[in-house]
A and B are shown apart, each in its own frame.
Chain A
Amino acid sequence: MESSVQTLGRNQPSPLLASGLGRRRRAVNAAMTVLIAGAFVLAMIPLFSLVFEVAKRGIPGLSAEFFTEDARGVVGGGGAAHAIMGTLIITGVAGLISVPIGIMAAIYLNEYGTGRLRRALTFFVDVMTGIPSIVAGLFAYALFEIFLGPGIRLGVMGSVALSLLMIPIVIRSAEEVLKIVPDHLREASYALGTPKWKTITKIVLPTAFAGLVTGVMIAIARIIGETAPLLVTTGVVDSMNTDPFNGRMQNLAVYAYNEYRSPGVMKQASYDKAWAAALTLIAIVMILNVAARLVYRRYKTEIR
């Protein structure tokens, strides 16, 4: 035994060092690492340059006036308070429409739906996530036109258009989250003699709460910057309007578009305001994302 080990040691290279595999493997590994890191940097460059550019150009347009004044009857001056307000109201109402519908639809798909119908609905939800936003806008416009006549522009029309975009996103994310809730929790609840609807409201939804909230916030962040559907539904207006059921309502995206498209006599001031509006939108989206993370961390449930 002893002698054979010695023979191995003397005459043959150690199997651990054999074939130069180590060097080759390390080289490949290094090359791959560089490649992947490079791809990551490439992906980050546009993102950072975008945020940097928007901040650089947007900050000059920011002022107290920008956040407190509307733009009624002013030349060059004025602010975007009406647009900020409009964005919050239109998005808020869209959320009020989409969240209940979206979550209930997800509950149906995950807890009740079976077989063909379920598959068909899932397919249509997928299709809906892909509809171009202008189509949603035109649909909402056409819908309201039937009842209120041509040329109608209302804040709530924008909300309906945005809901069409938001509902499928909410359904998708909520469905994913509900799927993660383990079946053994549902069974534990059933075994206590709990009806299905109570199992869903008291066990499944609370367990999924953090994920649901995160999904909703991401969906809001996704639609809050929509421009096209709002152009055709909420219109363009210079004055503050807080009633979504009455008259046109401005919003940040359309405001930015409009300041750029038809700047007044003081072109630079208009451009600055357009960039400031863009910066404000990005800030709102970031705040929503951070809030989503905080909610998730605070309320997440440890699921084994």
Chain B
Amino acid sequence: MLGAATKRSQPETEGKKGEMTESRPNTATSTEPAAVSGRGAKTIETRGVNLFYGDFHAVEEVTMTIEPNKVTALIGSSGCGKTTFLRSLNRMHELTPGARVEGTVTLDGEDVYDDRVDPVAVRRLIGMVFQQPNPFPTMSIYDNVAAGLNLNSTKVSKAQKDSVVERSLRGAHLWDEVKDRLDKPGGGLSGGQQQRLCIARAIAVEPEVLLMDEPCSALDPVATLAVEDLIGELKNRYTIAIVTHNMQQASRASDVTAFFNLDETGKPGHLVEMGPTQEIFTNPKKKETEDYVSGRFG
């Protein structure tokens, strides 16, 4: 099913680019037919997802819905499989040798793990921002943002590329800081700027979902706040899932929170509870969750 969608997505991308050159599209006026609830954002649903590294069962039976235009925070103690689970959503998990996935992950109803689906196509629709800011060291700031377009051999004119780069950098709140040095290497920026550069790079390819793996853990509080503000804004256009160790961050920046836990080390992690962030933090249904969010363990 997604196979068809993937083929369709190429000309669509072109169309979007054309549209973007004229002006920054307002949220709902996209030409894209699929965009019912905001431009491009899609729902991710998982059913009975089990994740393995070789013989090690890392995540057990996760069934959840990640809704569009909301920030879903995945919290839980270290080693409970949050990051592993996140990486399974855009098929990054299988890049680890020996890694396996069971269960289904769907993007607006289409199975991401269908045999006919190219993982490369999945990753174009579901972008990712990593824990450690990782701009490409050989590329300038400009080329880092345009990397998605260049690497995917999307044929774009220089003017279109310019506008995508500017729009993405503005979207990542980085434009004013770097507009005079776009040709300088991306590695020369501060940690917080590098992370926003990585966010700009991820949104430049117009994904529908943005996965963030502890995007602020390597940043200082000021940079963290900048990125959190940005996340709050990006949810208007994307479905966002964010893994975080920082409970304040989850409570500040997310709309929905999913709490993962594991019974003991060596046992698989599982989803304990998921609900509106407010509820999880003030009135969780499970004792386990309450203990965790109130800081009694973890």
Contact = CB atoms under 8 A, between A and B. Distances in A.
A pairs with B = yes
Interface of A: 114, 182, 184-185, 187-195, 198-199, 202-203, 206-207, 209, 301-304
Contacts of A184: 130, 132, 134
A188 B90 contact: no
Contacts of B295: none
B187 A192 contact: no
Contacts of A114: 97
B137 A301 contact: yes
A192 B202 contact: yes
A198 B152 CA distance: 8
Contacts of A207: 136-138
B141 to A, nearest CB: 15
Given A114-B97, A198-B151, A191 B128 contact: yes
A185 B137 contact: yes
B5 interface: no
Interface in B109-158: 120-125, 127-128, 130, 132, 134-138, 147-148, 150-153
B42 interface: no
A192 B97 CA distance: 20
Nearest to B132: A184
A195 B120 contact: yes
Contact of A203 (B92, B136, B187, B205): B136
A192 B205 contact: yes
A193 B148 contact: yes
Interface in B187-237: 187, 198, 201-202, 205
Contacts of B128: 187, 191
Interface residues of B, number: 31
A198 B92 CA distance: 16
16 contacts: A114-B97, A184-B130, A184-B132, A185-B137, A187-B130, A188-B198, A189-B147, A191-B90, A192-B127, A192-B152, A194-B120, A195-B120, A202-B150, A203-B151, A207-B136, A301-B138
B95 A190 contact: yes
A192 B201 contact: yes
A192 B200 CA distance: 11
A209 B136 CA distance: 14
Given A193-B123, A194-B120, A188 B137 contact: no
Nearest to B151: A194
Contacts of A206: 138
Contacts of B123: 190-194
Given A185-B134, A188-B130, A194 B152 contact: yes
Interface in B244-297: none
Given A190-B95, A191-B202, A192-B202, A303 B152 contact: no
Contacts of B121: 193
A185 to B, nearest CB: 6
Contacts of B92: 187, 190-191
A192 B207 CA distance: 9
Contacts of A191: 90, 92, 123, 127-128, 130, 202
